[in-house]
Structure 1
Amino acid sequence: MKRTVLTLSLAVAASLSLSACAAAQNTGAPSLAKRSVEGRFDVAPPPVVVAPPGPLPADLGGRLGRWESDAAAAQQAFAAERNTAASLVSAAAGAAVASERWVVAQQAISRLTATRAPLTAALADIDRLYLDRSVAEAIDGLPEIYALRDRLAEMVSTQDAVVEALSGQLPGQ
């Protein structure tokens, strides 16, 4: 019985709402159909033609060359210092924290990190150059700038992994 009453009340409510919709259409309410004026704006905008970047400006060539040579020198210094640091960290593997061997190994890692300064400075400078030129929409030479930036970032990432691995070998890290 309750089920029949519920079904009947739902049917009555649905028919009342449908009749209200039908009545609204007859009262002169605005139609939601597309008007003729709305079709005028269906035209796609013309494609934007962006000129490809030109060659690297002459004034930037020297800066990029200097940063690349600084990075190469830092990479060589890091490679030379890495073997020394690795042997000192290996010698301190079983030493207690703050012991003589542990302190010497920490200092070797610090020296290894210090050799990276020219590389990280060059990366920071090239990041700033890239951002400044991007903001100024000076796109000439951006591919060369970004390529050097990518190489320097890869060097830094590789060196980060070496320093982290050496630090992880020391007790108390």
Structure 2
Amino acid sequence: MTRIPLSRPLAIAAALSLSACAAAGGDGAPSLAKRPVEGRFDVAPPVVVVDPPGPLPADLAGRLARWDADAVAAQRAFAAERGTAATLVSAASGAAVASERWVVAQQAISRLQATRAPLTGALADIDRLYLDRSVAEDIDGLPDIYALRDRLADMAATQNAVVEALERQLPQ
């Protein structure tokens, strides 16, 4: 079997393609100028006017105020319980799992978690409201709803970090 070097077919293909380019370079070559059909779609898109969201509807203002008050009360209760929980967790940091100090520290963390219930409940309610209004395309008041939701989510995330830090201090 005779082997043909790979470079030979490549050289032949290159020579054929170059000869085709040279033949097309004469007077019969197509112009590269812009054709009339190419500019057909060079038009500005139509302006779409979107009304900004209006103010918060009166029936929602009271619910947002209640959720805000619930979150503030939960934050106060969490802050009050946090010191006690931190002290008990520190005391149990070297204790064995299921020992008296460990159980007391776990109970303190559970009480700390329980203080978060009004905040997490308000956050769930405001999430549901935001989604329902978004789906129904009721945009009035959405900036106010989202601002409160964002603030409550930040509070919940901060509290989660505190609880997780306390849990990491206890032996598993």
Match in the other structure for 1:128:
128
DSSP-derived class of the 1:94 partner: coil
Over aligned residue pairs, what C-alpha RMSD do you find?
Answer: 3.0
Structure 2 residue 163 is matched with structure 1 residue 167: no
Q: Find the counterpart in structure 2 of residue 17 from structure 1.
A: 17
Instruction: State the shift of 1:40 in Å.
Output: 2.0
Q: Which protein has the bigger helix share?
A: 1
How far the C-alpha of 1:47 sits from its partner, in A, is 2.3
Give 1:83's aligned residue.
83
Cα deviations by residue, 1:100-145 (Å, 9 ceiling, x for unpaired): 1101100110111111011011111111211222222221111111
The answer for unaligned runs of 5 or more in structure 2 is none
Query: Aligned partner of 2:132: which letter?
Result: D
Count of residues paired in the alignment: 167
Cα distance in 1 for partners of 2:158, 2:115 equals 14
**Within 2, Cα distance between the matches of 1:66 and 1:47?**
40
Cα drift, residue 31 of structure 1: 8.8
Please name the residue that 1:137 is paired with.
Answer: 137
Distance (Å, rounded) in 2 between the aligned partners of 1:65 and 1:7: 80
- What's the offset of the Cα at 1:50? 1.6
Deviates more, 1:16-25 or 1:84-93: 16-25
Counterparts of 1:54-133 in structure 2, within 5 Å, are 54-133=54-133
* Aligned equivalents of 1:51, 1:70: Cα separation in 2: 33
Change (3 A) 1:37 1:108: same
Paired residue type of 2:78: F
SS at match of 1:41: coil
Equivalent-residue separation in structure 1 for 2:70 and 2:162 (angstroms):
20
TM-score by length of 2: 0.82
- The gaps in structure 1 that reach 5 residues or longer are none
Q: Which position in structure 2 is the counterpart of 1:42?
A: 42
Q: Percent identity at matched positions?
A: 81
Which letter maps to 2:149? Answer: R
Give the drift of 1:98. Answer: 0.7
Q: Distance in 2 between matches of 1:86 and 1:8?
A: 80
Q: Secondary structure of the equivalent of 1:140?
A: coil
| Distance change in 2, residues 1:24/1:137 (3 Å) | farther
Shift, 1:9, TM fit: 6.5
Superposed displacement of residue 36, structure 1: 2.1
Give distance in 2, aligned partners of 1:8 and 1:113. Answer: 78
Q: Which moved more, 1:81-90 or 1:94-103?
A: 81-90
Give the equivalent residue in structure 2 for 1:151: 151
